[in-house]
Structure 1
């Protein structure tokens, strides 16, 4: 079956999707890239079908995709004829030979008919891909799937902005969108000497991620969900601003790999006991034991932020560490003194020191741990930062009283994250003013 269509129409995709479209009629497609001889075809199909059930009687598609613009000669057509009349496997095979030029496909069809006789179906066959009206939705779905972001709508480029009728094929249309996005991504990365990651950490009495699970991606651990953030902030200024810059929001989330995690008292209190210059006396009076480095590393390794930093993608929301009967009252005591008026700055440094200890225990390449210090290659001034392998990780801490990660605080949490994202977009030069 010679088939033809312009490059990018989807000939190969169709050839490999026959079973998907008609599972009752076709087996999975066999790819043949060897010589076009009787023995080569028979050997390839036998190998590909050796695990098929004995009663398999569906058609076996064989795709010859390596000979585009090099049609079969008379000897090869004779071998194809002989193989298709072979009584065991050949009689159940459909050979597909894709071409981009109709004259070549027609020439091969005429040659086959001269050798094998009249074909039971008209050959060659012209392949027609999806209608141009459907291309924007296909492009959007492709971008979402390839970037593993379930709520992604624009990825910095909007498929609806590209006139489908101006492109020769779906492939050309997708390639143009892909090239534009790649160029934007390269430009952004070139603007900084190191890729920047953003991690927003909510430190409170909440024992687990709570409502953060509703504001983050279900397939990429802790990655913030732009749609969920906007849905929770419809009446806020920053929410309205980001709705007017929806493409940039998605772009910033992807480029910054923007994540958010909760830090429960079972993790924060041991770090403050060991490293804080202001809280250690209060915690000592409450009987909080002074932890060693091993205990610190183990405690962080069980937390969500620890699992993110060491590459473990599955959240466990563990709160093991200092028992909650001890750590919770301790955190409550600290919060009563307040976290404003720069009282959180030494607390941020304590958490950063614990992370440094943890990463060192894991032999993960990391360096340049600093708090309240501008990065040397951008105007960014994060609460804390460090280099993790080739990336600059920026930590933004939100210290809050009580069990904060609850649905009633969804809007406040979302406003905080969106505000940080806007600040980073401004400092990295993606927006010049707040219009």
Structure 2
């Protein structure tokens, strides 16, 4: 087992990893930028190393600084959390070169699944259902026109190196294709340094349902059932739940089997997520694979009583998994609390938290790194907390979330708490009748 793990991340996920390491008797090293000097992950780690100024490019994305921090503290493993370098093949390989275990996928696996066009062709070979469209990267616009006709409108253009909704364009008719092609490639180039595009059939009334998987270093994988992530704004998830209100037992078995097949086909090691689009007829299609822990992993932990971070560490240390699949026994909902103003188009709202009262009680979990007096820096993602509730039924979970949100007090900055409170009363959400288009018609009440 590892003696010391460096967490190459910040905020709540860094704190989350530190907690499990402490429970396992493993020493921890926090890294931080100068903007995060007062963050709780710095305070609760056994050691902390400053790796640069506030800019991510000069700190949390600076591979040489992180490797140096691991070497001077004698860390024998690095946990990357999510975001930043968690799906960076070069960083995974760099850790291996320095004899430091990367707690995540190998560089080869990330290369295979991180590029969405490559991932799709791999999944076709594995026999996993995929959305009709291009088999890989589109060569040029003439190729693009031809594939759009073969696929049939409407289509979705996607950046091969994409994420967070960047470089995506829905195209409903042929005359709009050229503008979409040009603007998507331009946006992708600016965001990722890569303008490769691929195309898929646009799935109407889709739900975004993902399957949590874990694979070990012996080629075996299992799944831990699904999460419904369909409530999104600009392709950014706002809330998640498990089990999905749209799921049937038969569909859960089929999607779980497909996710395990995907993981075992590439001999996947670590915790990962196979993401699917599911249409209104419950046909499901592979969308992408995230080769890391997800923001929303706590709801899975709550319904199957399973520490995913612990399992990541055990797998990385060469411990085999049991191989059995897990199914939800309870219902869990997560609300992402962001420092954003939901009454002003979700505009980011960094600043100092003057008052903080967090909810509690049976079945309520808070994952956060903030406290009264904490200064939310403007340099990073605006998520400051995850509120997770768990109950026997979906109806009970919604009522528990309402109660918890009513108890949650943050002053000094605007947050998305009012949005989530209104969401929990929305008839379409309450009935489970929502798709990824839900937020297009949602209006905040004054």
User: How does the TM-score come out when normalised to structure 2?
Assistant: 0.22
Larger Rg: 1
Structure with bigger strand share is 2
User: How does the TM-score come out when normalised to structure 1?
Assistant: 0.23
